[in-house]
């Protein structure tokens, strides 16, 4: 049979403080079959970090060149370093039939949507904004002013939910993981993804 | 919070011989939270069958009236008796927030699609047509001619797959059930179903 199903690109995003990192880590620990994207960065490798495993380490010039050549699905600057998602690595993994998950900020997700609209956009949402505030305060690293400004950002990020395909409430990490796994499995059953496969088997009796 | 999520209407269909009944029974045995639709029929109740539990028993005249008044989501005649799915029962159950599953033939599913396009249409597919033929022969109730004509029908029913949202391969009953449960869970996470809920919580911190 010539049909080979491609992997899905799963973009997990949501307001900061909602628990994207925790949910991704839990998915990894469960052994969910998802390939984690490797980011490109201009920051120096830390002790033990391996190029092509933890990050793709590139110079500032190389990174600029990647932006120019549209080799990044999304990118951002963070405390003086650049971080981005290399499109070639993602495409190769998908072509190999593996699903890839990207855990990124809301702004990055919107960039991915422009470049890769066929991806699956999952918005990780807090049970309510009170709860989000609690989680941000709980980190204990922010001043009252910073907390207020992060809440303002979070509120405006909630508005962007309608650009996503799915919303997963992070009421409990385990439930959120169940929902994400179900979404990926369900998407693999969509008729529009499989119709070619069944065209091949028709008449083959 | 005023938002109340409605149940989903799940239509499970596919060529006869594919194992719709077996899969539905397995879902029931697992305790999957799905309400089974109760059919209306003009056939006489058998010993122990209760009106409103096993079937809604109606006269031929009442049934014709239901067709006329568009009270049936779909209906068909089978060995001299009429069978149909009552739209009021389905709507009330969905409004109460419960998901309803209908296990019906392909032609019936197309009728439901015209009346209720927002339902979730799942096509249960055989791993291949050889396997379907084996299953039909395995029943041991059909002559060679009947088997051939059922295969012709099955082939043309496979063509109708593109009218469905999802295709679930019935390679193993347990896997098929996993996929169906995932599809229902995933559909409950679709942004277009939940956006109203989140509009209500915005600003509520």
Residue B144: per-residue pLDDT: 84
Q: What is the pLDDT of residues A114-162, one digit of tens each?
A: 999 999 999 999 988 888 888 878 777 678 888 888 888 888 889 899 9
Residue pair A5/A97 in contact by the 8 Å Cβ criterion: yes
Q: What is the pLDDT of residues A191-201, one digit of tens each?
A: 988 887 777 66
Backbone angles phi, psi at A127, to 5 degrees: -55, -40
In chain B, CATH 3.30.63.10 covers 38-98
Give the pLDDT band (50/70/90) at residue B202.
low
CB contact (8 A) between residue A178 and residue B185: yes
**pLDDT higher at A51 or A195:** A51
State the average pLDDT over residues A157-168: 93
Q: Is A21 annotated as a binding residue?
A: yes
Contacts of A24 (CB under 8 A, 6+ apart): A12, A36, A101, A103
The DSSP secondary structure of chain B, one letter per residue, reads: ----PPPPEEEEE-STTS-HHHHHHHHHHHT-S-EEPPPEE-SPPPTT--BTTTBEE--HHHHHHHHHTT-EEEEEEETTEEEEEEHHHHHHHHHTT--EEEE--HHHHHHHHHH-TTSEEEEEE-S-HHHHHHHHHHT----HHHHHHHHHHHHHHHGGGGGSSEEEE-SSHHHHHHHHHHHHHHHTTBHHHHHHHHHHHTT--
**pLDDT higher at A12 or B193:** A12
**Measured distance CA(A100)–CA(A91) in Å, rounded:** 9
State the average pLDDT over residues B75-94: 92
Q: What is the pLDDT of residues B4-35, one digit of tens each?
A: 789 999 999 999 889 998 999 999 999 889 99
B3 has pLDDT over 80: no
**pLDDT higher at A16 or B102:** B102
Report the percent of chain B where pLDDT is more than 70. 95
Distance from CA of A180 to the nearest CA of B (A): 8
CB contact (8 A) between residue A158 and residue B190: no
Instruction: Please give the residue of chain B at the shortest CA–CA distance from A151.
Output: B205
At the fourth CATH level, the homologous superfamily of domain B38-98 is Guanylate Kinase phosphate binding domain (3.30.63.10)
Distance from CA of B47 to the nearest CA of A (A): 41
State the average pLDDT over residues A16-23: 89
Distance from CA of A54 to the nearest CA of B (A): 31
CB contact (8 A) between residue B181 and residue A182: yes
Residue B1: per-residue pLDDT: 46
**pLDDT higher at A78 or A122:** A122
Q: What is the pLDDT of residues B146-200, one digit of tens each?
A: 888 888 888 888 989 999 999 999 999 999 999 999 999 999 999 988 887 777 6
Residue A201: per-residue pLDDT: 65
**pLDDT higher at B76 or A2:** B76
Contacts of B186 (CB under 8 A, 6+ apart): A166, A179, A182, A183, A185, A186, A187
A180 has pLDDT over 90: yes
Residue B86: per-residue pLDDT: 95
Smallest Cβ–Cβ distance between A167 and the set B191, B203, B204 belongs to B191
State the average pLDDT over residues B108-133: 91
**Measured distance CA(A15)–CA(A27) in Å, rounded:** 19
**Measured distance CA(B142)–CA(B170) in Å, rounded:** 22
Enumerate the β-bridge partners of residue A102. A11
A1 has pLDDT over 50: no
Residue A2: per-residue pLDDT: 59
B40 has pLDDT over 50: yes
**Measured distance CA(B203)–CA(B205) in Å, rounded:** 6
Residue pair A169/A127 in contact by the 8 Å Cβ criterion: yes
Question: What is B1-34+99-205's CATH topology?
Answer: Rossmann fold (3.40.50)
Query: Among B159, B161, B198, which would you mutate to test the A interface (most chain A Cβ atoms within 10 Å of its Cβ)?
Result: B198
Residue pair A26/A64 in contact by the 8 Å Cβ criterion: no
State the average pLDDT over residues A76-93: 92
In chain A, CATH 3.40.50.300 covers 1-34+99-205
Instruction: Please give the residue of chain A at the shortest CA–CA distance from B151.
Output: A205
**Measured distance CA(B193)–CA(B104) in Å, rounded:** 25
CB contact (8 A) between residue A166 and residue B133: no
CB contact (8 A) between residue B128 and residue A181: no
Q: What is the 3-state secondary structure (H, E, C) of chain A?
A: CCCCCCCCEEEEECCCCCCHHHHHHHHHHHCCCCEECCCEECCCCCCCCCECCCEEECCHHHHHHHHHCCCEEEEEEECCEEEEEEHHHHHHHHHCCCCEEEECCHHHHHHHHHHCCCCEEEEEECCCHHHHHHHHHHCCCCCHHHHHHHHHHHHHHHHHHHHCCEEEECCCHHHHHHHHHHHHHHHCCEHHHHHHHHHHHCCCC
B91 has pLDDT over 80: yes
**Measured distance CA(A117)–CA(A163) in Å, rounded:** 10
State the average pLDDT over residues B62-66: 97
Report the percent of chain B where pLDDT is more than 90. 64
The interface residues of chain A toward chain B in range 142-201, judged by CB-CB distance below 8 A, are: 151, 155, 158-159, 161-162, 164-168, 178-179, 181-183, 185-187, 189-191, 194-195, 198, 201
Q: Is A19 annotated as a binding residue?
A: yes
Strand order in the sheet with A166-169: A35-36, A100-103, A9-13, A120-125, A166-169
């Amino acid at each position: 049979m010539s049909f080979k199903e491609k992997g899905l690109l799963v973009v997990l995003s949501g307001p900061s403080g909602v628990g994207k990192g925790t949910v991704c880590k839990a998915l990894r620990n469960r052994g969910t079959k998802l390939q984690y994207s490797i980011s490109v960065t201009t920051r120096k490798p830390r002790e033990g970090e391996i190029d092509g495993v933890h990050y793709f380490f590139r110079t500032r010039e190389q990174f600029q060149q990647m932006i120019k050549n549209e080799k990044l699905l999304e990118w951002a600057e963070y405390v003086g370093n650049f971080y981005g998602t290399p499109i070639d690595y993602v495409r190769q993994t998908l072509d190999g039939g593996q699903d890839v998950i990207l855990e990124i900020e809301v702004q990055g997700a919107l960039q991915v949507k422009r470049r890769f609209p066929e991806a699956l956009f999952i918005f990780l949402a807090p049970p309510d904004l009170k709860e989000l505030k609690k989680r941000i305060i709980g980190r204990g690293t922010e001043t009252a002013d910073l907390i207020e400004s992060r809440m303002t950002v979070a509120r405006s990020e909630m508005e962007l939910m309608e650009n996503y395909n799915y919303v997963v409430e992070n009421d409990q990490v385990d439930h959120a993981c169940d929902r994400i796994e179900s979404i990926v499995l369900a998407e693999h059953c969509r008729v529009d993804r499989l119709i070619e496969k069944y065209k091949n088997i028709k008449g083959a009796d």
